[in-house]
Amino acid sequence: MEGEGLLVRKIRSGVVIDHIPPGRAFTMLKALGLLPPRGYKWRIAVVINAESSKLGRKDILKIEGYKPRRRDLEVLGIIAPGATFNVIEDYRVVEKLRLKLPEVSQGVLRCPNPTCITRKEREKAVSKMVLVSHDPPAYRCVYCGTTVRGEEIHDLISP
């Protein structure tokens, strides 16, 4: 049994995100819009610093009853590439996939350049950021060329 079993039981249905680098579970909750007051709809378990043979330490997120939306995989892939996304039904893992950095992010990652066309109040273009480096991750805006990298990317995820 993994260490987290001592803290949190298995869930009946929903989503379990495992192998999250320590500290990123809260980043995920925020980016998914699951922190209070919105997040009070679901039963959520956050395990910080669980033991992991692969990572040493890891975070785990369990969201009971949650139906993932299409953009969630993109959001989570940006925050924790390599983490495992599990869909649970009737106590069983029915889908397991490894999160990865999206090659292109449209409408999810915002460009930080205040004069970029994607930041205009009117007639603004939908943001389009292209992956230009994996480690550390970096994205470049196709409109103005602004490049963002590392942890600053997390603050640019649209709510």
Among 16, 63, 99, 109, binds ligand CTP (CB under 6 A): 16
Q: DSSP secondary structure string, the chain?
A: --GGGGT----SSEEEEEEEPTTHHHHHHHHTT-STTGGGGSEEEEEEEEEETTTEEEEEEEEET----HHHHHHHHHH-TT-EEEEEETTEEEEEEE----SEEESSBPP--TTSGGG-SSSPPPPEEEEEEETTEEEEETTT--EEEGGGGGGGB--
Q: Is 18 in the site for ligand CTP (CB under 6 A)?
A: yes
Scan residues 100-159 and list those touching ligand CTP (CB under 6 A). Answer: none
Residue 113 interacts with Zn ion (CB under 5 A): yes or no: yes
| 53 near ligand CTP (CB under 6 A) | no
Compute the least distance from the CB of residue 91 to ligand CTP, in Å.
4
Say whether residue 60 binds ligand CTP (CB under 6 A): yes
Which 123-152 residues touch Zn ion, going by CB under 5 A? 141, 143-144, 146
Q: Does 111 count as an annotated binding residue?
A: yes
Contact residues toward ligand CTP (CB under 6 A) are 10-11, 16, 18, 60, 62, 84, 86, 88, 91, 93, 96
Contact residues toward Zn ion (CB under 5 A) are 111, 113, 116, 141, 143-144, 146
